[in-house]
Amino acid sequence: MSELARKVGEALKAKGAKLVTAESCTGGWVATALTAIAGSSDWFERGYVTYSNAAKREDLGVAEATLQRHGAVSEQTAREMAAGALKKGGGQVALAITGVAGPTGGTLAKPVGTVCFAWTDGSKMVSETKRFDGDREQVRRQSVERSLQGVLELL
């Protein structure tokens, strides 16, 4: 994961961009992976850990209607998280992650391992939903890796 984080840093630095993260199920793991890289202050702006729906609304501006209609684990919520992080965070690129890491909390529609992502640079927004296998830590690790890969793809 550190190699992937280093590549993200190099790509951001080459663009003169700073990244803002908005994390739910990963609990700040993306920010931790990125700031473990020496020199990350050149390209990492800040991270939001918005675990609760209230935090998503209050810190990132996710609409209550979005949470009610689509749920916290949805591409719609991830997109609003990313947009809010970009708007409030002062960076040029943002990523968002929200999901069900388990071992409980899953439903038939959104089983454990369902994770929604969004990435934006202000002009383009990309989102997707993945279903990861494994225990809580494995789901979270795969989510961190996918989020970092998504930044590279966006850039």
**Distances, alpha carbon 90 to alpha carbons 20, 28, 82, 84, in Å:** 8, 18, 12, 10
Instruction: In whole angstroms, give the CA distance from residue 36 to residue 12.
Output: 15
Q: Say yes or no to pLDDT of 1 above 90.
A: no
What pLDDT digit, counting tens, does each position of 70-111 carry? Answer: 999 999 999 999 999 999 999 999 999 999 999 999 889 999
pLDDT digits (tens, 9 = 90+) for 43-61: 999 999 999 999 999 999 9
Q: Is the pTM of this model over 0.95?
A: yes
